[in-house]
Structure 1
């Protein structure tokens, strides 16, 4: 029996894909190479390069196109297909948001590092301050968790008045991500 919600599912998928497209734009626009190549292997620049790689991976990984045949006619089949696409789009947006937040933390690290160095090259007088920058980056990266991202994105969707009744669970998203590694 058709439930009449396929239009809402279609709009939800479009919203998720639009969000993902915006995230991909920001991910692709982030720098990956420092001006001074001596900084190439520092923590923040390594994090930015990894984010770029992760962003390309989430964009390029194949979607699950196999949808089981369901009973109930064309509308029920369309529902199953939309739910499959919704999981794919939701998981991509989730991973994109995680990458974007990691990039933002790394870019803050670059700003902190630049403030410490004030145009100079690192030397022994900077060691403790640069170590503090690195430690702060590690703290910020550790705070970017699947749980916090899922909660924040759900809250944001709700505040925007988006239809969220059939959003996949965090466990389903994590399963989707693991299947594409």
Structure 2
């Protein structure tokens, strides 16, 4: 018995609150362009995919398989909390990734609107719109699991959160892959 289950419980609660907040932002993002002709453009397609991914991470089942321990009730509780901790940390991680992708797509909408200035795409705007698309692809490619993990950990530490038993980046990515 290590006496840390209170910290483990508090950590899970923090992660779930962060996940809930991110889900709110994900659900609030637009998915339908004002002009139906823009439906299949890259930024709007990215926003729709983010909405789908956000719904998926919300609905995917938790892995509740926890091995039975031989150390008594507190050790069993510790094992269960660690499993829930991984689940909550991975969900928050994926929600942060989705949120960052949404932000990139929303910047794309702003850039595109600046290029079009209320008009429709034309041969005069083709090169600038292509540049917007390339910028979006570059930003989306730059959103990596490693960076997200490190940024969230840095933020948690800055807020004085207990991170001593946070699962590794590898464990988080393994959890995410198992739910795709």
> So what's the TM-score if we normalise by structure 2?
0.99
User: Which whole-Å CA distance do the structure 2 matches of 1:178 and 1:142 have between them?
Assistant: 18
What does 1:1-181 align with in structure 2 at a 5 Å threshold?
2-181=1-180
Residue-pair matches, total: 180
Residue by residue over 1:75-101, the C-alpha shift from the partner in whole angstroms, topping out at 9 and shown as x without a partner, is: 000000000000000000000000000
User: Which whole-Å CA distance do the structure 1 matches of 2:135 and 2:74 have between them?
Assistant: 51
Deviation at 1:141, TM superposition (A): 0.4
User: 5+ residue gaps in structure 2?
Assistant: none
User: Which whole-Å CA distance do the structure 2 matches of 1:104 and 1:71 have between them?
Assistant: 47
User: Which whole-Å CA distance do the structure 1 matches of 2:145 and 2:173 have between them?
Assistant: 8
After TM superposition, the runs of 4+ consecutive aligned structure 1 residues lying more than 6 A away are none
User: What is the root-mean-square deviation of aligned Cα atoms in Å?
Assistant: 0.4
> So what's the TM-score if we normalise by structure 1?
0.99
